[in-house]
């Protein structure tokens, strides 16, 4: 069974907010493309509240040595304590080690209400 955590108008693309889902503190993210993603509001490294971090992009290497592009703007959730970065569009997997990820929840939008499910 799902819970309404906010309304569509509460978050713009590239924004996030803290909310609750059952007894869990979650961070609800709206990606650059407008889709919603929800995660346990706790970094897997040392438990930092991810909602205090930011949604941003990440550098990516190019074919030229020492050259980088900035990619995935608004799709990377960065931990506020130690800078761990998680790809919200890839199940919350850590950029530095894709075997690790933050707990995620299903999100559905119905009648302009954002609903989170287990």
Per-residue pLDDT band for 58 (boundaries 50, 70, 90) equals confident
Fold for 3-117, please state it.
Rieske Iron-sulfur Protein (2.102.10)
pLDDT higher than 90, residue 62: no
Domain limits, the chain: 3-117
Q: Round the average pLDDT of the chain to a whole number and report it.
A: 94
Looking at 68-117, which runs of residues are DSSP E strands? 68-78, 85-87, 93-94, 104-110, 113-117
Quote the CA–CA distance of 65 and 39 in Å, as a whole number. 35
Per-residue pLDDT band for 11 (boundaries 50, 70, 90) equals very high
Per-residue pLDDT band for 38 (boundaries 50, 70, 90) equals very high
Say what the pTM is: 0.91
pLDDT higher than 90, residue 61: no
Per the model's pLDDT, the better-predicted residue between 59 and 25 turns out to be 25
Give 34's DSSP letter.
S
CB 9 within 8 A of CB 93: no
**pLDDT per residue as tens digits for the range 13-33:** 999 999 999 999 999 999 999
Neighbouring C-beta atoms of residue 6, cutoff 10 Å: 17
What is the separation of C-alpha 110 from the centre of its chain, rounded to a whole number of angstroms? 20
Per the model's pLDDT, the better-predicted residue between 60 and 10 turns out to be 10
């Amino acid at each position: 069974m799902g819970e309404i955590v906010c309304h569509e108008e509460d978050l713009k693309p590239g924004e996030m907010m803290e909310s609750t889902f059952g007894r869990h503190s979650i961070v609800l993210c709206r990606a650059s493309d407008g889709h919603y993603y929800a995660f346990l509001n706790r970094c897997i490294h040392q438990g930092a509240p991810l909602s205090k971090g930011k949604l941003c992009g990440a550098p990516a290497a190019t074919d030229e040595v020492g050259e980088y592009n900035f990619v995935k703007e608004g799709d990377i959730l960065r931990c506020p304590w130690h800078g761990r970065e998680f790809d919200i569009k890839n199940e919350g997997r850590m950029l530095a080690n894709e075997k690790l990820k933050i707990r995620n929840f299903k999100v559905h939008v119905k009648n302009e209400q954002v609903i989170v499910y287990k």
